[in-house]
Each structure stands twice: as structure tokens, then as C-alpha cells.
Amino acid sequence: MGTWDVVVVGAGPVGLLLGGDLAAAGVRVAVLDRSAEPSREPKANAVVGQATRLLQPRGVLVRLGQPGPPTAARVFQFGGLRLDLADLAATPLHGVAVPQQALERALAERAVEAGARVRRSAEVVGIDQDDRGVRLRVRAESAVREVTAAYAAGCDGGGSTVRRLAGIGFPGVTDSTVVSRSADVVVPGGVVSPETAQADLPGIGRIGLYGWHRTARGAYAALPRPTGSLLISVMEWEESTADTDPDGAMELDEFTAAVRRVLGADLVVEEPTGPGPHQRRRWRGRNTRIADSYRNGRVFLAGDAAHVHNAIGAPGLNLGLQDAANLGWRLAAAVAGRPGALAGYDGERRIAAHRVAMHSQAQTALLAPDGGITALRALLTELLEEPAVRARLATMLEGADVRYPAPPGAHPLVGRFVPDGLARYLDATSPVLFDLGAASTDVPAGIRVISPDGATLPARSLLVRPDGYVAWASDEDGPAAAAGLRQALDALFGD
């Protein structure tokens, strides 16, 4: 399997975005995955947040048949509470509705076309490294072979082997009181209407079809699938588990009994007959964990391998895809001889993971059937009447509340995600200089310079990294700005 600049372990969405960015930058990259074919398990239905704006300049939205900019959300939820965004001056939350399997297909096509080698049925079972490179032991076709690379990236999911082999801890909490169940079902008798996005549920009455609903005994959510079935999920906090085998498969009877407990009434559900696979899952406990380092020497972690959290609010892909975009340009720079670029990865992405850990735990807690939570929800409902509160929560769900560390005295845009309207100009392989002033004299080769309409630019000049974050900005023109730009470029690559 040879020698590579970078080996990416895991061909999920995060590994595939990283592999594509590296290949586009001319890096010799292999993406290895232990499974023989892409997962058919239904997972995400949407990418929510800033990561959507990385997909357009990488050509991924075109491949998904959604070439326009990501949709600005008019309504969302926070812990099952309605978050109206339509009346805000600028909606801070963006989304792209796409099944995870379709997203992975588009990312894989892009990576392969850019020159990445995607190799399946290749399981990484050992890693060691020294100051010259990484050696990975890879089991393929029942033989174990050695693969070498300058760097390795573990994008191998929540149970990451790379994390374990690299000796990286995974501290955090497991909330073992929560039991969740999800199943693709059909609900007969016109109880749900995807056309009006409403459901007439026994025990609850008429509710919006999408999102979480808290009941006296738990929480209920539904999501219509494009195939015609309905993905129903329930969460319980005080369940008698005596009648279920914790490790066994979940039968439909067990699921309908849980739905009955949560709704307080019977909801008739049937097995879907259309094309599958149909999800049926039970999981106990909720993990919120963040790797204690995203890097050990030449080995890096990204995506679920680096952090796991509750899925509420759909933050997983936003976090993981942005890890990949952040790590991609850094690894490409390191392969090109500028290893100092790798220094900022761990610190920057850890900030984003801690925000998600906090708000996904808070949102899950808001669904618990406890009297104190009822009071807390009443208080939050009052606060949500304020547009500023709704804007702030939506900004957090977008991931736009994150500011990466910036040097003292830096322009307020530095460390922030690229302002609206500029993301489509991003380049996956090099920083982009948006320039209205004189900073562009003496710009090093390889940096794309764009001079857009002044009305859309929030500073005279901005240097934006391939992951969409502002590395430098200036309100000045002339030699001082040009010197600041040169300094910022050196700092970016750790020179």
C-alpha cells in the first residue's frame, strides 16, 4: 500500500473532506477505511452551521444538486423550544438538507477526482512514529502490511482506534440516566401530515412534525424520510429496563412500548415497506467527551474521533467538517516544508468542541421531565421573546460564536469566520486576500487576490484561510497594511 505524504484513517464525511482538500493541494494522500463499502446506516439528514459554507467553494453543493448558497434557517429549535429566526435582521443559522450517505458520495467523488486514493477493506491496527514519519499496520485481505507516511489523521469515528493507538485520552462524562430509541416506521391513518408538517398525536394533540417535543415522561421527535417513512425518536430518563436485553436488538414491540410511555397513549406504527435500510436503534447513556489532545506528534485526530456529544441540534458534521478544513491546509503546508502551520490546530478546534459539548448537554437537559426543568423552560421561553437572545443562540448553533486566538491589537475580524457573502470565494488550497487597498502589492505567489465590490467588504483588506477563518484584516491602506499582511502570512505558517 506504499508510502504517502498523509494517510487519513476513516472514509466517513470528515476523512473524505480532509482527503479531498489534501489531494486538491497536491498532497499524496491515501484514505483507508475498514469497511468494504460505504455505510448504509441512516445518520445525518442535514449539515447545520458554518460548515455548509465550506461546501460551496469546494464544489460539493453542485455535486449534491444544490448549487446555490446554503439556506438561511427561518425557524429552528433549542432544547425543544422554538427558535423563530424569520424576524431577525440577518439570520445567523444556515443549513443544507442532505442525507449523510449522499454527502459522503459527493465528498468521495471529489476526493478521488482530485487524486486521493480511497482504499476500503483496509483496517488500521497499529501505529508507531518517530521524528521522520508514521508507520501504520493495515489489515487488508487477511494480511497485515505496513504503510508509511509523513503524517496520519485519525478520522475513524467515536470509537477511534487511532486515538487509542496514539495514547490520547478521551475524558468527559457519560449521562447514563438517558435511554434513547429511534426507528423508521410508517404511521397509518393520517396521523401525520408531511405536507402540512403537522402531526395529531394521541396524548399530545396537534404539534409541528419536526423537532423535539417534551412530554411529562420524556421527549419525542419525528423526521419524515425522503423514502416516505418517518424516523421517530424517543428519550426516557426514568425507564424500567428489566424487560429489555441491553445488548440485544430492539424489536418493534419494545419501541412502541417506549413511545407509549413517552406520549402517555398508543401510537400505532408499522414496519416501513419501502427501500431501506431502516434504522432501529436503542442506546443507553449519552457521551460528551473531547480528546485530551488533537495531536500526538505526527498523528492527528478530527471529527468524531476527537469529540462526541449529544446529537441534539445536529452539531456533529458542523464540528467535524470544520476540523477537516482546519487540518487540511495545515497538513498541506507541513508537507510542503512548513510544519509550523500545524501548531494552531489543537487549540483552535478544541474551543469549538467545548462550545458544542456545552450547548448539546444544555439542550438535552432542557428535555428532561423534571419540575425544575419546567420552570427553566418557562424562563427561557420568556427570554426567547427577545430577538437578541434568539440571535445569540442561533449564532452559537451556527458555530459563529467561536473566535480563535488572535494576537493582541488584532482587527476584530481576526479569528472570526469569514463574513457573509465572501465564503463563496474561498479556496480549499490557499488563503484568499480580499483587497480594496494597497496591501496587495508584494503578495506572495499562490495567494489569490480578489477585489470585490467595496460595499460587501467589512475592512479594506482581509486574508481568509481555506477553512474560512480570517487570519488578518486591516482598515488601512499603504505600506503599513502591506507589512501587516506579510507578518500575518509568516505567522500563519509558523515561520
Ligand X SMILES: Cc1cc2nc3c(=O)[nH]c(=O)nc-3n(C[C@H](O)[C@H](O)[C@H](O)COP(=O)(O)OP(=O)(O)OC[C@H]3O[C@@H](n4cnc5c(N)ncnc54)[C@H](O)[C@@H]3O)c2cc1C
Q: Which residues bind ligand X (CB under 6 A)?
A: 9-15, 32-35, 39, 43-47, 100, 123-124, 155-157, 161, 303-304, 311, 314, 316-318, 320
Nearest approach, Cβ of 351 to ligand X (angstroms)?
18
Q: Which is nearer to ligand X, 104 or 435 (CB)?
A: 104
Nearest approach, Cβ of 317 to ligand X (angstroms)?
3
Nearest approach, Cβ of 429 to ligand X (angstroms)?
21
Q: Which is nearer to ligand X, 281 or 448 (CB)?
A: 281
Q: Which is nearer to ligand X, 12 or 344 (CB)?
A: 12
Nearest approach, Cβ of 308 to ligand X (angstroms)?
8
Nearest approach, Cβ of 48 to ligand X (angstroms)?
6
Nearest approach, Cβ of 32 to ligand X (angstroms)?
5
The count of other CB atoms within 10 Å of the CB of residue 212 is 21
Q: Which is nearer to ligand X, 302 or 481 (CB)?
A: 302
Q: Which is nearer to ligand X, 122 or 335 (CB)?
A: 122
Q: Which is nearer to ligand X, 220 or 493 (CB)?
A: 220
Q: Which is nearer to ligand X, 28 or 282 (CB)?
A: 282
Q: What is the rounded CA–CA span in Å between residue 91 and residue 87?
A: 8
Nearest approach, Cβ of 444 to ligand X (angstroms)?
33
